[in-house]
Amino acid sequence: MPKLLTSLVSQPVGIPMPIPKSVGFEVEIAKGRQSSTDDMDQIAKRSALACPDCHGVMWEIDEGELVRYRCHVGHTYTADRMNLALDENLRRALGSALRALEERRSLARKLEKQAEQNDQARLAASWARRGEEYERELAVIRDSVRRLDEIAAHNNIKQGW
């Protein structure tokens, strides 16, 4: 056994330090104890953020240099992990928006053609305008997705990922 390790092992045990209430409480949650909003209010302050997993209230636990988030169900995140989880939720939401808009545009085009076949020029024009509006909305969402990807790539390079 190296001398340093032998020296450390043979030192007397120091004075036991009390476990902070928040740490003890979180250990109990990790073991499966149910928590309530009142319990969480005692160890942390409520955050404006929703839990990425269950969408419930998150509490911010500020431990100096380390900020963590926990919901009363027990999901927990560091600030960095919370940022990544929120990015992922945003990506899913934008993907859902793209699919919904694609479907609206497709339906508008179908109804426009159907109205044209039935010699309903005004109705066809109305559906054409809606389809154009959906196309503009799609462009906005696609630009948002592209920008989100650019920001993520920039952050990954900056952080060495």
Q: Is the pTM above the cut of 0.75? A: no
Average pLDDT over the chain reads 87
User: Domain coordinates of the chain in residue numbers?
Assistant: 19-74, 83-158
| Alpha-carbon radius of gyration of the chain | 27
Per-residue model confidence as pLDDT tens digits over 120-136: 999 999 999 999 999 99
d(CA 6, CA 26): 34
Tokens read off for 48: 């404006």
Residues 6+ apart with CB under 8 A from 53: 71, 73, 75, 85
